Structure 1
Amino acid sequence: MTKTWLITGAGRGFGREIARAALAAGDQVIATAREPRHVVDGLPADPERLLALRLDVTDPDAAGGVVEEGLARFGRIDILVNNAGYGQVGAFEELSPTLIERQFQTNVFGTFNVTRAVLPAMRAQRAGRILNISSSLGIVGVDWWSVYGATKFAVAGWSEGLSKELAPFGIHVTSVHPGQFSTDFLDPSSIGMTDLQIDDYRPLDAARREFVAGRNHDQPGSPERFADAIIQLAALDTPPARWAAGSDALAAFEARAAQLRESAVEWHDLSLSTEHPA
């Protein structure tokens, strides 16, 4: 059966590759981006199965309009991929409240906006898949990425709770945690830098900037293979609540599991001491 996908941030990177893979699988795709021409320019011409629409995910009304237009064209939306977002980097103290709020508006509330717009149709059809692109930094915290990581932890935690709310309606939710992939994610056009300067953070900032410049477009993960895996994930009858993409993301899962176990054992008695006496 032909499926209809709604993919945000489809102008490049993961979003474009997922759209390409879905089309190659014979499905229909509503591909959104701030500039729809980037979608059209980057994907095979297929006016019957590809609908490219403008969307700023921070605009709830625009999200609703995209869903209405997609439903009018294809009749249903089977799979939502919340991919739109960017990385705000820098030590927490070197980021103004304005930059931090902007990061959350896109990565968290933008995801909320699109999901809220899609859910009535998915509930009505009693079926659906929602794939929320988090990050390996939504599993383990890393300095200089603390605010970006906070948004990805938020998406992962929300996804887990949402999956339980939507299960009675046949809707599955998966939090996807990619590691490092050779997309434009580390490109200056995709990340936001600090707008404040504090001398104490100069060594950290210099080291992280050097790493980003050296790793940009040289990450180990393949976006094309990631997209192929997403197609497989969306087809599962019982998809996982969380999924690690890449060896580094898998290592992050394993490290966090070990850390939680070690912490539980080390602080076992103190944890239990907080309850009322038996």
Structure 2
Amino acid sequence: MAYSDTPSFPKGLLSDDALPRYVQVAARLWDDISARGARAGDRLPSERSLATRYEVSRETLRAALAELAGRGLLESAAARGWFVAESGEAVRLTGGHTVEGFADYALKHGLAVRSQVLESGTRPATVDEAETLRIGPGAALFEMRRLRFLDDLVVVLEHNRVPLTLCPALADTDFTAASLYATLRGADPAQLPRVADYSVEARQPEARERDLLEIKDGTPVLVAEQLSFNQDGRPLELTVQVYRGDRYRFRASITD
């Protein structure tokens, strides 16, 4: 299968300089791969040479590679590097094969995403968290709270919890720019959220939420709780998102 047989990135959206740097690099890299007409199984240049070519850090380059891997376009092999995916199953962010993250949503709609990290670190998991994430009580847990913005408008207060064993690099990653899902995929492409248990309810904001989300009137918040699983059914991430009710719309398809 040639590169040209695999879906390319949407034109126009990914050329926007306001989008995350790693997304821009991913688009440029895939355009270059496609232009060369390489085929499935072809090996990419080393990460060092790619980082030099695109004038980015190794961290940004790895996030870009993980983004392409998450779409099914690339795959990695331990100690051998990166290759064009053999399966031919490309996963688009707009498709139904993965759980869509906040950055994915922004990309799909051509919006500039920005994050402000409020808290980030590791701690022992509580008994309830351990039961939910299927880890031992007291196991190392990465925890982060962020404000997420679209086109510089605050939209959501997000609380993420991930077992640290899935990706030790989480503790040292700057998530003001990096994507949580792309970082997970960079550590192991198999750690792609495939399905999720999701619930949402409306309520009045608490005082801190009102302040952080810049709510000045009676606008309610929508609270979404999500537990994401990988392709093997293992829990990956527990997330609570508090959205401004006037800047978020929940849609779902119900099937039997």
For Structure 1 versus Structure 2, the TM-score category normalised by the shorter chain is: under 0.3
TM-score by length of structure 2 reads 0.26
Quick check: which one's helix share is greater? 1
Q: Between Structure 1 and Structure 2, whose CA radius of gyration is higher?
A: 1
TM-score by length of structure 1 reads 0.24
Higher relative contact order (CA 8 A, sep 6+): 1
